[in-house]
Amino acid sequence: MDTRTELPRVRRQRGMSAAQLAALAGVSRQTIYAIEGGEYIPNTTLALQLARLLEVRVEDLFRLEGEVAPPPKPISVELLGDAARKGQAVQLCHVGKRLVGVAAVPQPMLPFADGVVVGVAGSRTPQRADIRVFPNDDPEGKRILVAGCDPGISLLAQPLAKAGGVEMIVAPSSSQRALEWLKEGSVHIAGTHLRDASTGEYNLAAIRRLFPKGGVKVVTFAIWEQGLVFAAGNPKNIRGAEDLARPGVSIVNREKGAGSRDLLDRELERAGVTARSVKGYDRIAHGHLPAALAVSLGEADCCVATRSAAQAFGLGFLPLATERYDLAIRRQFVKLPAVEALLDGLNRAALRRRLELLAGYDTSRTGEVRVT
């Protein structure tokens, strides 16, 4: 009877490369690949050694063909984002030595995911959660975790997959939270559009506050417009921030630390409008697209978001600011093949054309290095 192996899945769950496992077991990397490919059946000594190194039982690694595999044991991961719930679909990515999980966002179909939450430990952020992982044959080093709020970043996914088989996982977050995750080592890249009040410069001041000793490469993704988003035809006749305090006008806001919220607060202050006089100021949407979606569904009359978010739902748009959206990358991740593929993609005309036509972005500065 033939033997089947779960070695590739278990090894990846432990965050161990084939070369690392081979070195620890005292065999060649080719031997590990041969075992994983079903071309070589290890002897008892090697099978026991592999099980000990991976902290599992031998039967967790090898079983006879036709045997029903037991459900995989949950593994503990660091979970980014809001409070997890049992049964939530999760995508996983290795960031340095960390295994990080991000909630898979549902589309009109069930989301692609690597596993589901089966238990949550505490309510602190980032949470620890137990994930039951599905068998996964994705190659190592081909995933990259990007945090931020730019809806246009998804346009990088297809070119990355075609060019180098790189899969990009996006953790939706405010700019401030994305930078904090980068500081903690929980993501490879953080997207940001935070304006410094004293200089009017975007992003660099916020990055230097968190990384006073440097160690971060900053590359421009695009220049976009942000403004007031409202129903097509502007039925509430919203012409500026002063109109948000009118009776019968409600908004949906962004979370603290979001560049959109900062812009709204500046515009309200300029118009002499207090936050408490704006209906819906404390109602939060986590992202440009969720905010625009609330407006499109009639759940709010207005929000502050990018022109691309307004375009996505056929909404009206009144520009308030032109902003630079940058990508901050920890120096230790810059040379990862997946990160290099992303940076290479920024310099390709095809991507820039997509950003211009689909998102309405200015790509004249795309790929420019701000800080190395």
Cα–Cα distances in angstroms (integers) from residue 20 to residues 52, 129, 232, 362, in the given order: 14, 26, 57, 44
pLDDT digits 0-9 by tens, 179-224? 999 999 999 999 999 999 889 999 999 999 999 998 999 999 999 9
Q: What single-letter DSSP state applies at residue 114? A: S
More confident residue, 368 or 66: 368
What's the pLDDT score for residue 242?
96
Q: With 60 as the cut, is the pLDDT of residue 109 above it?
A: no
Angle value at C-alpha 141, between 135 and 145, nearest 5 degrees: 90
Cβ proximity of 188 and 144 under 8 Å: yes
Average pLDDT on 77-84 reads: 76
- Give the whole-number percent of the chain exceeding pLDDT 90: 44
Q: Are the CB atoms for 302 and 220 separated by under 8 Å?
A: no
Taking residues 279-297, report their average pLDDT: 94
DSSP designation for 350: H
> If you average pLDDT over every residue of the chain, what do you get?
86
pLDDT for residue 186: 93
Q: Could you give the C-alpha distances from 272 to 180, 268, 281, 333, in angstroms and in order?
A: 32, 6, 15, 45
pLDDT tens digits for 314-355?
899 999 999 999 999 999 999 998 899 899 888 888 888 888
Min mean pLDDT across 105-119, 122-136, 308-322, 337-351 is at: 105-119
What residue ranges do the domains of the chain occupy?
3-64, 71-137, 141-372
Q: Residue 74 half-sphere exposure, CB side, CA atoms within 13 Å?
A: 16
Yes or no: say if 148 and 326 are a contact pair by the CB < 8 Å rule.
no
CB 144 within 8 A of CB 342: yes
Placement of tokens 């997890």 in the chain: 84
Say yes or no to pLDDT of 29 above 70: yes
Rounded to the nearest angstrom, the gap between the alpha carbon of residue 331 and the centroid of all alpha carbons in its chain is 18
The per-residue pLDDT for 136 is 62
Pairing type for strands 75-80 and 98-103 reads parallel
143-148 and 98-103 beta bridge pairing: unpaired
Rounded Cα distance between 95 and 189, Å, is 10
pLDDT for residue 331:
92
Q: Look-up: residue for tokens 């409070």?
A: 83
Give the pLDDT of residue 151. 84
Amino acid code (one letter) for 317: F
User: Domain 3-64 is classified in which CATH homologous superfamily?
Assistant: lambda repressor-like DNA-binding domains (1.10.260.40)
**pLDDT tens digit sequence for 230-283:** 999 999 999 999 999 999 999 999 999 999 999 999 999 999 999 999 999 999
Task: Give the mean pLDDT of 98-108.
Answer: 72
Tokens found for residue 367:
């790929």
Name which CATH class applies to 141-372.
alpha beta
Look up residue 23 and give its DSSP letter. Answer: H
Compute the average pLDDT of residues 173-178: 93
**How far apart, in Å, are the Cα atoms of 237 and each of 227, 248, 250, 317?**
15, 11, 13, 12
Query: Could you tell me where the DSSP H helices lie in 73-199?
Result: 157-164, 175-184
Model pLDDT, residue 5: 82
Share of the chain above pLDDT 70, in %: 90
* pLDDT digits 0-9 by tens, 142-154: 889 999 988 888 8
